[in-house]
Amino acid sequence: MVPAVVDEFLGHRRFRADVVERHKTPGVVAGLAYTATGGDVLFVEAALVRGGSGLTLTGSLGDVMKESARAALTCIRNRVDRLGVDPALLSDSEVHIHVPSGAVPKDGPSAGVTMAVALASLLTGRPAKHDVAMTGEITLQGRILQIGGLKEKVLAGVRAGVHTIILPHDNVLDLDDVPEEARKRARFVPIDTLDEAIEAALTPASKKRTVRSK
């Protein structure tokens, strides 16, 4: 229990180690974000609405983040075969991506990989590993590009209980700016492609299967 005097001088805790609980559901993945006040853990939720069509984005997303979501969906559509997913599942459903804390405006390209992995998790039924968070811009071909604010993102992830951080390979040298104590508390997985991110972030499939629409 936090002593009352600590709360009195510093205020209530800003960071909660809730990554484990929220990762139990397929389609929910933790990303790392940069804000004006430092880093933050940003959860992305993906859902399918049967009988609908198109892409719905909610959570006060800016134009760049909306573009990242569209790129993420295109990448997943191009990978349904290797994911073992029936293409009709996407064709017959509306895709909804939501980023909670809807009153807080969010923008930037670095959530692209998180959105794509959230969609892969939803479609395959594979939850994200409970201690993983990620950051990275995504291209239509599924390449993962360099991002900014890595130091702040890593510090936020460590504070929230993240033990594995997936980051663009081009950002590896930026880890030198992260305090040594924080580097010791996390494992870093550099990636170049979306496929690498999916395998690093999601729990293994129980068996090879094809997910089909009904």
Catalytically annotated residues: 110, 153
DSSP state of 203: P
Q: Alpha-carbon distance 113 to 125, whole Å?
A: 18
HSE, side-chain direction, 13 A CA sphere, residue 141: 3
Query: What span, in angstroms and rounded, lies between the C-alpha atoms of 185 and 37?
Result: 22
User: For 98, phi and psi rounded to 5 degrees?
Assistant: -130, 140
- Tokens at residue 153, please? 């993102």
Which spans in the chain are helix H? 4-10, 19-22, 63-77, 80-83, 87-91, 112-124, 150-159, 180-184, 194-201
